[in-house]
């Protein structure tokens, strides 16, 4: 389970998330906006009787949101609240035996904030990201 | 072993809770064999179990108490107040030990020997004065069968049922779509009914009898009245009313506070009561009942009530209200002053109550859980306090409103009334950029929900609805929404930190529509919109009165506290308005303090003794008809009519003289001096620098330059050493070296190009453009 990762894309970049952090992957229904919330909070959506706080990953990275059409979200639970992270697409869940490597390249500030390592799979490099930092959004990082 | 210990501790704790009332009742009537037996059974059980569990201190204590109680049962001794206190002390110690063991803390130290010695017949240890209160009614019920269930499990059941309700709703939609047969419809109806019943009973599993809250009261009343040397009869009614368990915990502190207040300040001592022809024992009755989806708790005593005169005097002395407001207060509102922060009527602070944090905290705690508190004060005869709280915290009666394309919920407890804009009883006025709704003579700030939330712009109020929202003491406003939809009972859950961080939401809900809905927080909305309590901002209401009453002899004068806290007055005629500005808009620029308001710079006075602390600064905007200045104050007090006579100041300065206002000396501001100061020439070096781009141009040198210098600017030319300090660059069509300073373009023709340039002989336009650029740059 430790080595199982969910592979998705955010702003076209393939990323990996520890599968142990992920509750489920869903297609979101109607999203009710939250006025006055930080820009990366896209709104609230219902998942059965739970309410998800929908996080736009692209906004959290500081990019202009591109894929408004996508409704696919990774559901994460943090401190008793459920969050839906809107991603570009979900590729697969895979076991990667190699441990994460430190990142050898200089990343853009947005990526640098959420990335915690690099994974090699199928001759392709994947960024391992920390969903908690995605949820915190860019403001928190500035304050820290 | 651990399981056994945990079981023992839980059982002991529960029995202790139930028992404290029994002991007081027994003391009141020592012949009550049933209660004595109950107490005896408790210590006997404790003794038995703890011997088995190896808890020597428990054993010694319970053993000693058991012996004494056995003597009482056999009739060889009779109970008196000292003995009851001693038994209570033992039971308290057992309670302390239980708590310590449960939380894993170190056992509290203390000499059990002393407590045990107090039990002996000859003991004369700490006699406690005061008779026991008589408990008129404490039901002695057989315990209901029950099991212990973790709360988390109940929450899971609740959310499971909510899921089922949503699934049922979807099924209902599908069935309608396919046009199902009648039998299917019937079965579906049965399923719906079962589901609704189940939802009800699961909601009820979270309920507890209010007895849990009331059972501690007899003991508390006894201890408090004994301490004060008073006698109090306690009457408890309605212990079987059920309330959400979280609610019970939240009600504990307010109720304790109210009861202590009643005994300490309300009920008189025996001597005074005799003189007033009341029975010597005070009477305190506490009752609970269910009324609709609210629980009503009443606390009534037959004591002295609230001394309204003293309360009002205290409120004035503490600056809570002014004398004028106090005179106009209706009687009901006078007693309610006790809920204002910093007002406490007790002449002496006692250990029991009157610490200055009192009723205001009680009120805000109750309001926070969606409740309300009311007083019925009969001075000399008693006080009745009515507390209303909703049945549960999680289900909140709400009003659904819409703004823009979205729906929001508002807790019904925060709503005073709902009026349609077209109603004849309301009037809407625009004052500057603020709007005021006058509803039956009451002026309230009007907010459009879309504006507060930043989701849209509203030009036309026609057809909209006003919800009058009360956000606590004296803080009401008219919230204008697109439409009001429905009264609904909503299950409210806390929202995630990212959402709560917006500051205007109290939680979220998932209504049957399946689209999440946010619940608005009345206080947060007010804070967001910058609304202040009515009392603190009386200028709007009072200005109208003052204007209407101006006689030939009198001058309307605005009284205020200046930043050093002194009472001062200024002629109302020069006051344009009262304004709050952010502290960061004040800066020392060009040799004096200035404040940027509405894109202009105004000289700021009144800060001679230092800038005010805090994020917002209150300003009076003063005008002499041609120019304007700002005067910083701490707070507005009142508007009064003063005769022209005053004692003139001995020297020229900010004070014109002194007048007597309500027996106090008030210094009146010299308006003439103020405006003279504001127009004094600023220090030369600090003047903004205009840089002219074309140093060779004759027009620039000979015509533009004198104009600018006359208007109070320094002038420099491109290529000079001052270039880098430029506040604004003025240029014609020629290219300008890119710098930090804004550029104003001049055009030679009057006919306007739409490129933001200024016609070069447009004196007003040019100076205005320069001023606004400089203001922007320096703000």
Residue B125 placed within a domain: no
Mean local confidence (pLDDT), B579-597: 80
Please state, as a whole number, how many other Cβ atoms lie within 10 Å of the Cβ of residue A12. 11
E strand spans, A80-141: 81-86, 89-95, 115-121, 124-129
- Give the pLDDT of residue B498: 86
In chain B, residues 156-175 whose CB comes closer than 8 Å to chain A:
159-160, 162-163, 165-167
The domain of B478 spans 405-529
B755: DSSP letter: S
Residue B260 placed within a domain: yes
d(CA A28, CA A71): 5
B302: DSSP letter: -
ipTM confidence: 0.88
What is the tens place of the pLDDT at every residue in B189-209? 898 889 888 888 887 777 888
Mean local confidence (pLDDT), B653-669: 78
Question: pTM (2 decimals)?
Answer: 0.47
- Whether B517 and A46 lie within 8 Å, measured CB to CB: no
Question: Are B703 and B666 a contacting pair, CB within 8 Å?
Answer: no
Q: Could you tell me if residue B412 is left (phi over 0), alpha (psi between -120 and 50 degrees) or otherwise beta? A: alpha
What is the tens place of the pLDDT at every residue in B239-292? 888 888 778 888 888 888 888 888 888 888 888 888 888 888 888 999 998 876
Number of domains in chain B: 6
Contacts of A38 in chain B (CB under 8 A): 498, 501
Do B323 and B386 have their domain in common?
yes
Q: Is A57 on the interface with B (CB under 8 A)?
A: no
Contacts of B166 in chain A (CB under 8 A): 46, 48-49
Q: Give the one of A32, A53, A82 whose C-beta lies nearest to B515's C-beta.
A: A32
Residue B386 placed within a domain: yes
- Whether A53 and B517 lie within 8 Å, measured CB to CB: no
Residue B650 placed within a domain: yes
**Which residues have a Cβ under 8 Å from the Cβ of B263 and sit 6 or more positions away?**
B221, B224, B225, B228, B230, B232, B282, B284, B301, B352
- Give the pLDDT of residue B35: 79
DSSP secondary structure of B673-693: HHHHHHTSPPPGGGSPEEEES
Contacts of B501 in chain A (CB under 8 A): 37-38
Tens-digit pLDDT string for chain A (144 aa): 578 999 998 888 889 999 999 999 999 888 999 999 988 999 999 887 788 999 998 888 888 776 555 788 999 998 878 999 998 888 888 888 888 888 878 888 888 888 888 888 888 888 999 999 889 887 654 443
- Give the pLDDT of residue A3: 83
- Whether B159 and A49 lie within 8 Å, measured CB to CB: yes
Do B674 and B701 have their domain in common?
no
Do B624 and B500 have their domain in common?
no
d(CA B539, CA B560): 11
Contacts of A137 in chain B (CB under 8 A): 498
Contacts of A60 in chain B (CB under 8 A): none
Do B566 and B669 have their domain in common?
yes
Residue B127 placed within a domain: no
Contacts of B499 in chain A (CB under 8 A): 34, 37, 41, 44, 53
Please state, as a whole number, how many other Cβ atoms lie within 10 Å of the Cβ of residue B299. 20
pLDDT value at B166 more than 50: yes
- Whether B516 and A137 lie within 8 Å, measured CB to CB: no
Which tokens is A106 given?
């200089």
Please state, as a whole number, how many other Cβ atoms lie within 10 Å of the Cβ of residue B21. 24
- Give the pLDDT of residue B108: 67
Where b means 16+ CB within 10 Å and e means fewer, B163-190 reads: ebbbebeeebeeeeeeeeeeeeeeeeee
- Give the pLDDT of residue B408: 94
Which tokens is B629 given?
């200045």
Own/partner long-range contacts of B731-738 (Cβ < 8 Å, ≥24 apart): B731/B692, B731/B693, B731/B694, B732/B693, B732/B694, B732/B697, B732/B760, B734/B693, B734/B694, B736/B693
How close, in Å, is residue A112 to chain B by CA atoms? 21
Do B483 and B371 have their domain in common?
no
Q: Is B68 on the interface with A (CB under 8 A)?
A: no
Contacts of A45 in chain B (CB under 8 A): 516
CATH code, domain with B67: 1.20.120.160
- Give the pLDDT of residue B683: 37
Sign of CA dihedral B387, B390, B394, B400: negative
Q: Which of A50-64, B56-70, B365-379, B604-618 has the highest mean pLDDT?
A: A50-64
Question: Are B125 and B114 a contacting pair, CB within 8 Å?
Answer: yes
**Which residues have a Cβ under 8 Å from the Cβ of B426 and sit 6 or more positions away?**
B419, B437, B438, B439, B440, B466
Assign 3-class secondary structure to B457-526. CCCCCCCCEEEEEECCCCCEEEEEECEEEEEEEEEEECCCHHHHCCCCEEEEECCCCCCCEEEECHHHHH
Q: Give the one of B494, B498, B517 whose C-beta lies nearest to A37's C-beta.
A: B498
Do B286 and B262 have their domain in common?
yes
In chain B, residues 437-456 whose CB comes closer than 8 Å to chain A:
453-455
Report the DSSP pairing between strands B743-747 and B728-731: parallel
**Of B473, B497, B529, which marks where a domain is finished?**
B529
CATH code, domain with B706: 3.40.50.2300
pLDDT value at B135 more than 60: no
Looking up tokens 């309610």 gives B336
> What percent of chain B shows pLDDT beyond 90?
4
- Whether B495 and A44 lie within 8 Å, measured CB to CB: yes
Do B214 and B347 have their domain in common?
yes
Instruction: Output the furthest CA–CA distance in chain B (Å, rounded).
Output: 122
- Give the pLDDT of residue B405: 85
Do B213 and B352 have their domain in common?
yes
Query: Cα-Cα-Cα-Cα dihedral of B156, B160, B165, B168, to 10°?
Result: 180
Do B374 and B309 have their domain in common?
yes
**Superfamily name and number for A4-138:** CheA-289, Domain 4 (2.40.50.180)
Residue B397 placed within a domain: no
Do B326 and B413 have their domain in common?
no
Mean local confidence (pLDDT), B43-59: 75
- Give the pLDDT of residue B393: 64
Nearest to B298 by CA among B374, B221, B216, B217: B374
DSSP secondary structure of B426-469: EEEEEETTEEEEEETTEEEEEEEHHHHHTS------TT-EEEEE
Do B266 and B288 have their domain in common?
yes
Q: Is A35 on the interface with B (CB under 8 A)?
A: yes
Q: Which residues are paired to B630 by β-bridges?
A: B604, B621
B702: DSSP letter: I
How close, in Å, is residue B501 to chain A by CA atoms? 7
d(CA B629, CA B487): 49
> What is the CA angle B523-B527-B533, rounded to 5?
75
Looking up tokens 């020229």 gives B652
- Give the pLDDT of residue A74: 93
- Give the pLDDT of residue B540: 39
- Whether B166 and A38 lie within 8 Å, measured CB to CB: no
Do B84 and B158 have their domain in common?
no
CATH code, domain with B236: 3.30.565.10
Report the DSSP pairing between strands B628-633 and B616-623: antiparallel
Q: Is B517 on the interface with A (CB under 8 A)?
A: yes
Q: Is B518 on the interface with A (CB under 8 A)?
A: yes
C-alpha of B315 from chain center: 18
Q: Give the one of B167, B454, B493 whose C-beta lies nearest to A51's C-beta.
A: B493
Q: Give the one of A37, A38, A49 whose C-beta lies nearest to B163's C-beta.
A: A49
Residue B144 placed within a domain: no
Residue B83 placed within a domain: yes
Q: Where are the domains of chain A?
A: 4-138
């Amino acid at each position: 389970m430790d080595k199982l990762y969910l592979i998705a894309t955010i702003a076209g970049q393939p990323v990996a998330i520890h599968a142990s952090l992920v509750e489920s992957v869903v297609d979101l229904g109607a999203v009710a906006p939250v006025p006055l919330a930080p820009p990366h909070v896209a709104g609230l959506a219902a998942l059965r009787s739970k309410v998800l706080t929908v996080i736009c990953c692209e906004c959290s990275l500081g990019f202009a949101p591109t894929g408004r059409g996508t409704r696919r979200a990774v559901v994460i639970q943090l401190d008793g609240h459920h969050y839906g992270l809107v991603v570009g697409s979900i590729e697969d869940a895979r076991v990667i035996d190699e441990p994460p490597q430190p990142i050898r390249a200089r990343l853009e500030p947005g990526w640098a904030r959420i990335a915690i390592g690099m994974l090699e799979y199928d001759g392709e490099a994947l960024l391992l990201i920390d969903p908690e930092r995605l949820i915190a959004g860019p403001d928190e990082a500035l304050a820290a | 072993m651990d399981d056994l210990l945990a079981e023992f501790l839980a059982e002991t704790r529960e029995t202790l809770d139930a028992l404290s009332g029994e002991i007081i009742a027994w003391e009141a009537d020592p012949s009550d064999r049933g209660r004595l037996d109950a107490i005896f059974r408790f210590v006997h059980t404790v003794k038995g179990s703890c011997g088995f569990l190896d808890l020597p201190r428990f054993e010694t204590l319970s053993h000693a108490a058991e012996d004494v109680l056995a003597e009482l049962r056999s009739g060889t001794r009779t109970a008196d107040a000292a003995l009851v206190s001693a038994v209570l002390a033992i039971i308290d110690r057992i309670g302390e030990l239980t708590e310590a063991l449960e939380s894993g803390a170190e056992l509290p130290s203390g000499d059990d020997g002393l407590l045990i010695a107090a039990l002996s017949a000859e003991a004369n240890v700490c006699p406690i004065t005061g008779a026991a209160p008589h408990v008129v009614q404490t039901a002695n019920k057989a315990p209901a069968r029950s099991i212990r269930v973790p709360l988390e499990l109940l929450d899971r059941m609740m959310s499971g049922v909510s899921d089922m309700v949503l699934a049922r709703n979807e099924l209902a939609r599908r069935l309608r779509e396919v046009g199902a047969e009648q039998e299917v419809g019937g079965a579906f109806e049965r399923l719906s009914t079962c589901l609704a019943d189940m939802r009800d009973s699961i909601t009820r599993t979270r309920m507890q009898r209010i007895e849990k809250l009331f059972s501690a009261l007899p003991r508390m009343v006894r201890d408090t009245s004994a301490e004060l040397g008073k006698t109090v009869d306690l009457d408890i009614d309605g212990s079987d009313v059920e309330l959400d368990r979280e609610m019970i915990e939240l009600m504990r502190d307010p109720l304790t506070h109210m009861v202590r207040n009643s005994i300490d300040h309300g009920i008189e001592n025996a001597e005074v009561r005799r003189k007033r022809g009341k029975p010597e024992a005070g009477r305190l009755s506490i009752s609970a009942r269910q009324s609709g989806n609210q629980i009503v708790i009443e606390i009534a005593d037959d004591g002295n009530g609230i001394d309204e005169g003293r309360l009002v005097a205290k409120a004035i002395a503490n600056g809570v209200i002014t004398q004028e407001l106090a005179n106009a207060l209706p009687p009901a509102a006078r007693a309610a002053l006790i809920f204002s922060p910093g007002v406490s009527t007790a002449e002496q602070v006692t250990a029991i109550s009157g610490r200055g944090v009192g009723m205001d905290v009680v009120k805000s705690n109750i309001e926070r859980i969606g409740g309300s508190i009311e007083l019925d004060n009969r001075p000399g005869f008693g006080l009745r306090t009515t507390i209303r709280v909703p049945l549960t915290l999680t289900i909140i009666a709400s009003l659904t409103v819409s703004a823009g394309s979205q729906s929001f919920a508002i807790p019904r407890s925060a709503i005073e009334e709902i009026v349609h804009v077209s109603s004849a009883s309301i009037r809407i006025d625009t004052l500057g950029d603020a709007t005021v709704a006058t509803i039956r003579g009451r002026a309230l700030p009007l907010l459009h929900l879309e504006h507060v939330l930043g989701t849209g712009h509203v030009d036309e109020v026609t057809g909209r609805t006003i919800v009058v929202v009360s956000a606590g003491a004296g803080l009401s406003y008219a919230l204008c929404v697109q439409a009001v939809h429905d009264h609904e009972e909503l299950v409210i859950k806390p929202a995630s930190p990212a959402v709560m961080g917006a500051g205007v939401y109290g939680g979220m809900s998932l209504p049957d529509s399946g689209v999440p809905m946010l619940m608005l927080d009345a206080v947060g909305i007010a804070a967001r919109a910058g609304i202040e309590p009515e009392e603190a901002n009386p200028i709007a209401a009072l200005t109208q009165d003052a204007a209407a009453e101006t006689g030939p002899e009198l001058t309307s004068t605005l009284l205020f506290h200046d930043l050093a806290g002194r009472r001062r007055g200024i002629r109302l005629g020069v006051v344009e308005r009262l304004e709050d500005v952010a502290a960061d808009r004040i800066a020392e620029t060009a040799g004096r303090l200035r404040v940027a308001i509405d894109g202009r710079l105004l000289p700021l006075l009144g800060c001679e003794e230092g800038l005010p602390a805090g994020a917002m600064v209150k300003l009076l905007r003063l005008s002499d008809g041609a120019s304007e200045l700002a005067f910083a104050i701490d707070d507005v007090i009142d508007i009064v009519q003063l005769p022209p006579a005053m004692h003139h100041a001995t020297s020229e300065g900010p004070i014109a003289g002194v007048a007597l206002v309500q027996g106090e000396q008030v210094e009146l501001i010299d308006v003439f001096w103020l405006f003279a100061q504001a127009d004094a020439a600023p220090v030369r070096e600090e003047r903004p620098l205009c840089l002219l781009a074309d140093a060779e141009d004759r027009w620039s040198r000979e015509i533009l330059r004198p104009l600018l210098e006359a208007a109070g600017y320094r002038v420099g030319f491109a290529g000079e050493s001052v270039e880098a300090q430029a506040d604004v660059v003025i240029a014609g069509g020629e290219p300008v070296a890119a710098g930090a300073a804004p550029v104003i373009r001049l055009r030679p023709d009057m006919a306007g190009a739409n490129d933001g340039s200024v016609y070069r002989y447009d004196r007003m336009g040019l100076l205005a453009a320069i001023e606004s650029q400089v203001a922007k740059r320096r703000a």
